Structure 1
């Protein structure tokens, strides 16, 4: 009997705590706004800028930075022409210089 009463009291206390938490959430204006938005749209919060699109943007920015860095390095630091960076002969010459036997 004692165990059953304690279980019943535990359940009542748990329900009381849950009701208090719900009351706190209702008082919070942000939670009310979120509930209203969900009720209007019928959907939960969605990302405006999806993760897959973020990854594509990052990859594109990395390629742009690589190209700009190569142009600046070859034309400003190396005193070459900026357009020569995009020629195959230039990169063949650079790889020959790097892999040259000593």
Structure 2
């Protein structure tokens, strides 16, 4: 079988074109990775992570206290400050556990 030298040249050119396209996409991907890396290096946090954790705990505790006061005072028709007293919670536990 005789092969046409022109067809070999075309196949080789197609292979070269595919390789060139792959290299171009690799370069673009590498450039995007470099941009991301530079952005991460230059990024400075306003609030450190340890401070965020403390703030979440404090805000959660404040929400719990406010919820207790609203629930006991507004929905339960009691004094909202009574929700923070230990005697109130002892009385509630006694009712729930039915101990005397």
List per-residue Cα deviations over 1:61-102 (Å, max 9, x = no partner): 11011000100011011110011112111111011111116x
5+ long unaligned stretches in structure 1:
1-12
**In the alignment, what sits opposite 2:44?**
46
Q: 2:88 aligns with which of 80, 87, 90?
A: 90
TM-score (norm 1): 0.56
Q: CA RMSD in A?
A: 3.3
Distance 1:49 1:83 in 2: 33
| The structure with more radius of gyration | 2
> What pairs up with 1:46-65 in 2 under 5 angstroms?
46-65=44-63
Distance 1:63 1:86 in 2: 13
5+ long unaligned stretches in structure 2:
1-18
How far off is 1:44 after superposition? 4.2
How many residues in Structure 1 have an aligned counterpart in Structure 2?
Answer: 76
TM-score (norm 2): 0.57
Distance 1:49 1:79 in 2: 41
